[in-house]
Amino acid sequence: METFYLVGAMALVTFLIRYLLLPLSGRVELSDGLRRALRYVPPAVLTAIVVPFALFPDGQQMDFSLANPYLVGAGATLAIGWLSRHLLLTIVGGMACFWTWRAVLAMGWI
Amino acid sequence: MATISPSRRRSFYEGMRDTLPLIIGAIPFGIIFGTLSGGAGLSAAGALGMSLFVFAGSAQFVALGMLANGAAWPLIALTTLVVNFRHLLYTATLLPYLQRLPRRWQAALAFGLTDETFAVAVQRWQAPGTRPDDHWYQLGSMLFMYVNWNLCTIVGLVAGRLLAGIADWGLDFAMLAAFIGMLIPYLKDRPNYAAMLAAGASAIVFQSLPHKLGLLAASLIGVGAGLLAERWASTANGTPSPEA
């Protein structure tokens, strides 16, 4: 029963966030300033997700070192993306770098 | 049932095609969600129910973490509100394009407005030219993500019971790589770099805020920094600010 409430509440909350502005939209006109602000939503939100993910692998302690494969892998992924501008290459290449670095760390060379 | 016009079908497939790289990033992430759910105390039905009805990867992971810590469901629902609040900004961004669609289309596309589908669809909607069938493009992207997410959840539920230690394979890095990949279109000018730098720095500062509030705060600060940088750039060029 707990699980039923949990899934139901999460589903309702998530759908309402994604939907609620749409029925209102005929009546509300977005101002010019707001429209320009919304252009920065994707880069800001994505970065706000990515940075803590890479720097706080355990969610608690910041690990800014080469011993953190998430950080090294994220750096490599960003470099590939910046140079190649190719989404698939970036994701696959980034994952390859991450697992390679993890293997290097596991061997105890660093 | 009415047949679907070739142009709509093409838009649908293009939406799927352009989402494919992100699918590759989502596969390991979906598998690890299914894998970790049992250990967090969520039943297989609960895990699949989340993927079927909530369909929000990051919130589902946060829910697992909170369940493992024994959090009550209202608190987890509240945190879901905060973690997914960014999707309100996504809807606002797509508002000019979605508002002319019928209600049932709006509801369907809103249900599937994940980070990935938003990142792909916003590029299409904002591309120059007029295409009447871009909503089919977004539908193709979201259905591909949805079917994949649920299949991966099932694979993870099975794998979690068969493969010991799969949780330690670092599969969650795939999502990090996919999200960095989604940033590529924005690595282009100073306002976008300002938005990213400010959001990233704030996210570090606010990391310890409860209920993932830091994500929301950092996102808003990033948007503000982008706007400021845009205004500075236009004054530096000697052109009047576009704002009245």
Q: What is the pLDDT of residue B68?
A: 81
Predicted ipTM?
Answer: 0.91
| pLDDT single digits (tens) B53-101 | 999 988 998 898 888 878 889 989 988 998 898 899 899 999 989 988 9
Length of chain A: 110
| pLDDT single digits (tens) B159-210 | 888 887 777 788 889 889 988 998 998 999 999 999 999 999 999 999 888 8
| pLDDT single digits (tens) B94-152 | 998 998 899 999 999 999 999 999 999 999 999 998 888 999 999 999 999 999 999 99
Q: What is the pLDDT of residue A105?
A: 94
d(CA A21, CA B125): 18
Q: Can you tell me whether residue B199 is helix, strand or coil? A: helix
Residue B1 — pLDDT band, cuts 50, 70, 90?
A: low
Put simply, the chain A residues between 63 and 102 with a CB less than 8 A from any chain B CB are 69-70, 73-74, 77-78, 81-82, 85, 87-88, 90-92, 94-95, 98-99, 102
d(CA B43, CA B212): 24
Q: What is the pLDDT of residue B168?
A: 79
Q: Which of B67, B95, B181 minimises the CB distance to A87?
A: B181
d(CA B188, CA A64): 26
Q: What is the pLDDT of residue A35?
A: 81
CB A53 within 8 A of CB B183: no
Q: What is the pLDDT of residue B40?
A: 85
Most A CBs within 10 A among B109, B180, B182, B221, hence the mutation to make, goes to B180
Residues B5-27, mean pLDDT to the nearest whole number: 94
In this structure, the number of other CB atoms found within 10 A of the CB of residue B17 comes to 14
Q: pLDDT averaged over chain B?
A: 90
Q: What is the pLDDT of residue B190?
A: 95
Q: What is the pLDDT of residue B244?
A: 37
From chain B, pick out residues whose CB is under 8 angstroms from the CB of A104.
none
Name the residue among B29, B21, B18 with its Cα closest to residue B174: B29
Look up residue B80 and give its amino acid. T
Q: Which residues of chain A have pLDDT under 70?
A: 25-28, 110
Q: Does B21 touch chain A (CB under 8 A)?
A: yes
From chain B, pick out residues whose CB is under 8 angstroms from the CB of A6.
46, 63, 67, 73, 76-77
| pLDDT single digits (tens) B148-159 | 999 999 999 998
Q: Is the pLDDT reported for residue B241 higher than 60?
A: no
Most B CBs within 10 A among A87, A97, A100, A101, hence the mutation to make, goes to A87
Rounded to the nearest angstrom, the gap between the alpha carbon of residue A74 and the centroid of all alpha carbons in its chain is 11
In this structure, the number of other CB atoms found within 10 A of the CB of residue B75 comes to 11
Burial class (CB in 10 A: 0-12, 13-18, 19+), B209: middle
| pLDDT single digits (tens) B19-51 | 999 999 899 889 989 988 888 889 999 999 999
d(CA B193, CA B224): 12
Q: How far is A66 from chain B (nearest CA, A)?
A: 16
SS (H, E, C) B155-192: HHHHHHHHCCCHHHCCCCHHHHHHHHHHCHHHCCCHHH
| pLDDT single digits (tens) B216-238 | 899 999 999 999 999 998 887 65
> CB distance B93–A36 less than 8 Å?
no
